[in-house]
Every structure is written in structure tokens, then in C-alpha cells.
Structure 1
Amino acid sequence: MTLSSPLTVLIADDDLVLRAGLASTLQRGSGLTVVETASGAEAVKIAEETGPDAALVGARIPALATSGTIKDLTAVAPVVLLAFPGDGEAVREAVAQGAAASLVYGSFTPPELAEAVRAVARSGAGQDEVDAIIGVRGPAAAAALRADSGLTEREAQVLRLVAGGMSNAMIADHLVVSEKTVKNHINHIYAKLHVRNRTQAIERWRAAETVGV
């Protein structure tokens, strides 16, 4: 692999919707090649056959903690665990088996995820570096908008994903909610920010990011 060569990312998650959403997120405009599987054992087999540059593994794959999947995968490529709030035990076990870092669903935008994958694959970035990529502007911008406009934590999260380039359908898949729920959140965001459309809402987010840096 050279700095200019395209990266291949293996995604392993038994949730088809989440897996498809991640694949779409990484392939859209990022230049990343994606290989998918629903099984931890299959992930190891595919990794050994294809030699991916990084692997994204869902924390809730059955028997992940006892199967040795993470340890086997790290022998081939750096692993980033994708978890939900409450998956702390799975995260700790994955780190113990050699995972480079973990990310929580809903805490990152598509560009941030792609950047984190590149950092892990190209330079061996760990948790601190990944946290820096994901959290440089987002939390500060969200806090500023919540204080200024009364956005809820979920509304700020949705706005961040909108600003990251996600469609309503992608956000729904990403947060595991209905598209109608996402639309409701966005309408509330418009009302609270006193904006008329997506472009104006994103402008408010970008302004908050700049202030927060």
C-alpha cells in the first residue's frame, strides 16, 4: 500500500441495515473499497484472503467476545469496533484482543468515519487519534447550539449528521430510527434555529463549529 493507493475496508456486522449503511457511507465519495460480511468467522476468512487495510466490526456480532475474531483479525489488519451506548463490556474485550479503537454509532459523520479509517489504516492511529478526528468540532458545536437555541441532544446529533452530508434515509439507518422520526427532528431543528431549509441549518452548524474551535 502506498499513500496514493485506494484503501480496502472490511465491514463485519450481522445487522444488514447497519452494514449496508456503513458501506454506502464509506463508498460515497471517499475512494474507499468495501468488502462486507455478516459473520465474525467469515470476516477472518475474508481478511486472510483479501488483506484489507482496516476492518470495521460490529460489537454485537454473536459470540464476538469468545470467538477470538478480533484477535484473529488484528493479525491481518487494524480493527475498529463499532458499538452502541451500553456496549462497554464488548469494547473492553475488543481492546484486550487488540482492537485499535472503538466508535459509537451516531457519534460520527460520514467524512469523519472515512478519515478515521484512513488514519487507522495508513498511520496506525489508536483511540486518542480517532477521538480527536471525531471530536474536534462536533461536541463544541453541539453544546453551543443547544445552549443558544434549545436543541435537544438528539436534535444536535441529527444536525451534525446532516452537516456531514447524510440524507434523511441515511440518518435513519445510522440511528436505527424511522425516516419519519428523522424528518420530525429536522423540522424541530428548523423551528428552533429559525431557519427555512437544510442549507441554512448547515450554515448555523458550520458557524458553531468555527466558534468552538
Structure 2
Amino acid sequence: MEGKIKLLIVDSNEIMRKGLVELLSKDRDIQIVGNAMKGEEVIRLAGETHPDVILLDLRMQNMNGVQVIKRLHKKYPDIRCIIFSNYDEYDEQYVFDSINAGARGYMLKTMPLSKLVDGIKTVYRGGSILSPRIATKVFGKFRELAKGKHCESDALSEREKEIVKLIAEGLSNKQLADKLYISTKTVKTHVAHILEKLDAKNRTEAVVTAIRKGLIDIDDKEPTPIR
């Protein structure tokens, strides 16, 4: 990896925050540029330290993670945010609200350190990540909500639906191109059209939105990073 990932860690719990700083700083590809516990502090540090990725708890003082992401996305659109939280504290709507606000991932504090590091690197490279437990429950919930809904037949083309399903399985542009026997450039064009049609900021939001609207269905398999 060229250069280090500049990471800002945000958690209201001092022990958790300092522990993350200590553990993640040991990875040779990650540089911790700061840590914070309050929403306003995050906004300030983002402007001062210019992180590539922010690891963000949903619960903090003076504003929640969704509110922080909205402000960050508006002021610093190139910064990629990952929600790192205890899922049981919140319902599926918080997950969707986070993604809709611009989060590039949602990961659980119960996951192994190696998976957390992999997730940070995936998001840094331009991908998105959902913890398997999160994705299974959220997608399941949205499938239930989508039952009986009828969407316009031209909301997505059959090829676009196929691509969204494959994105949900974790395929990169190159893998999509190889599987569908088309060029990477064509894949990028399809993805751009999908994002525009679904009014989605990134691939994760596109997949969630497509399922929520009943445009696609996916198998109950363990999700992988959405690259």
C-alpha cells in the first residue's frame, strides 16, 4: 500500500478509544492522526488532521454519529466514515440512516481486530463494508418491507439489477467485468447509472436502497465487503 491510511478514531468510551488507538497503531499501513469523544471535536479534528478514514461510534456527546456524518459529508466529502458500534443498542433504521448520511461501512465492536483492520483498508481503497450480522438482519428486514411493493419496471434495467446483486456479493469492478464478459469501463458506467437512479452516494447505499424498494432480492449468505 502506498502511504499510510490516516485514521481518526471517535468513541465516547475512553477505554475503548485508547484501546483502539493502541491496537490499530500497530498496523504498518495505518497512522492514527487523532482521537475524539465529542461530535464537535470530530468536526474540528477532521479539518485539522485531514484523515482518510474516520472510525466513528454512533453514541457520543452533543450529537450522534448520523448527525456527525451528515456534517462531515457536507464539509469534507472525501473523508470516508465507518460506523463502529454495538448493534444491539439500535434498530435497523439507524443502520440505514448512517448509510444514507454517507457512511461507507457499519461494523460491530464484537468483531475480531483483523476484520476491523481489513474493513478500514477496504473503505480506504474506495469500497464499503457491512458486518455480516448487520447485513443479514438489515437486508432481511428490508426484504420483509419490500414484500408486496410494486416498483416501476424501468427503475433499473435487468442488467443493472444483475450488477447490484453481484455488488451485494462483494464483487469488484474487475470481477464484475470478468463474470459478465464486459469491460471494466462498461461496469463503471452501469454503476454510475445505478447510483444516479437510486439517488445513492455509494455502493452500500445502492444495495440497501434496491432491496428496501423491492427492486432486487438476495440469498441469505454471509455478505462480503462491497468494493
CA distance in 2, matches of 1:66, 1:20: 19
**Structure 2 counterpart of 1:48:** 47
- 3-state DSSP of counterpart to 1:60: coil
Q: Residue 5 of structure 2 contacts residue 30 of structure 2 at CA under 8 Å; is this kept in 1?
A: yes
Cα deviation for residue 17 of structure 1 reads 0.8
Cα deviation for residue 16 of structure 1 reads 0.4
**Structure 2 counterpart of 1:87:** 90
Deviations along 1:167-205, whole A, 9 cap, x unmatched?
xxxxxxxxxxxxxxxxxxxxxxxxxxxxxxxxxxxxxxx
**Structure 2 counterpart of 1:39:** 38
- 3-state DSSP of counterpart to 2:83: strand
Matches within 5 A, 1:1-213: 3-34=1-32, 35-65=34-64, 68-74=67-73, 75-84=77-86, 85-88=88-91, 89-106=93-110, 108-122=111-125, 124-127=126-129, 130-131=130-131
What RMSD in Å do the two structures reach over aligned CA positions?
2.5
Q: Residue 38 of structure 2 contacts residue 62 of structure 2 at CA under 8 Å; is this kept in 1?
A: no
Give unmatched runs, 5+ long, in structure 1: 136-213
Give unmatched runs, 5+ long, in structure 2: 136-227
Q: Residue 66 of structure 2 contacts residue 98 of structure 2 at CA under 8 Å; is this kept in 1?
A: no
- 3-state DSSP of counterpart to 2:51: coil
Aligned-pair identity (%) = 21
**Structure 1 counterpart of 2:208:** none
- 3-state DSSP of counterpart to 2:24: helix
Cα deviation for residue 87 of structure 1 reads 2.0
Distance 1:65 1:37, change over 3 A: closer
CA distance in 2, matches of 1:125, 1:50: 22
Of Structure 1 and Structure 2, the greater helix share is in 1
Matched AA of 1:102: Y
Distance 1:66 1:31, change over 3 A: closer
- 3-state DSSP of counterpart to 2:60: coil
* TM-score (structure 1 length as normaliser): 0.53
- 3-state DSSP of counterpart to 2:114: helix
- 3-state DSSP of counterpart to 1:5: coil
- 3-state DSSP of counterpart to 1:64: coil
Cα deviation for residue 109 of structure 1 reads 1.5
